[in-house]
Amino acid sequence: MSTYGSHSWQADLAMERPPGALPLVHLIEKCTSCGDCVAVCPVYALLLDGAGLPYFVDKAACTKCGLCADICIHGGILLTEETARGLAAQKRNASDLKVIRA
């Protein structure tokens, strides 16, 4: 096992990463293994692998809401066109809830 920065090379190359995740070599450089992307996922589709990098445990559950990219302050997961639309929808829905509750 070798290491790169704070990550061990136990990162499984075959694991599917969330939409907008950087290619593995760059994800390893950017990701701090904070787990914010896992915590914010509303459908529990993500976990961290042995190297501390996000991967899908249930890709079919992913709604492409963009919350994982939105919370990733280090740039390991970026918004795609699809997840940007999903994030906009999330924010609209949140605004609608505020109006209903008011």
Question: Would the pLDDT of 2 be above 50?
Answer: no
Dihedral Cα 85, 89, 90, 93, nearest 10 deg: 180
Question: Would the pLDDT of 7 be above 90?
Answer: no
pLDDT at 1 (0 to 100): 36
The string of DSSP letters for 23-64 reads PHHHHHHH-----HHHHH-TT--EEE-TTS-EEES-GGG---
CATH 3.30.70.20 assigned to 3-101:
yes
* pTM recorded for the entire structure: 0.80
pLDDT, one tens digit per residue, over 38-95 is 999 999 999 999 899 999 999 999 999 999 999 999 999 999 999 999 999 988 887 6
Q: How many CA atoms lie within 13 A of 47 on its CB side?
A: 7
Q: How many CA atoms lie within 13 A of 29 on its CB side?
A: 5
> Are the CB atoms for 49 and 67 separated by under 8 Å?
no
pLDDT at 24 (0 to 100): 92
Q: Where are the domains of the chain?
A: 3-101
Collapsing DSSP states into helix, strand and coil, what is residue 8? strand
pLDDT at 53 (0 to 100): 95
Angle (CA) 56 42 85, round 5° = 85
pLDDT, one tens digit per residue, over 16-41 is 999 999 999 999 999 999 999 999 99
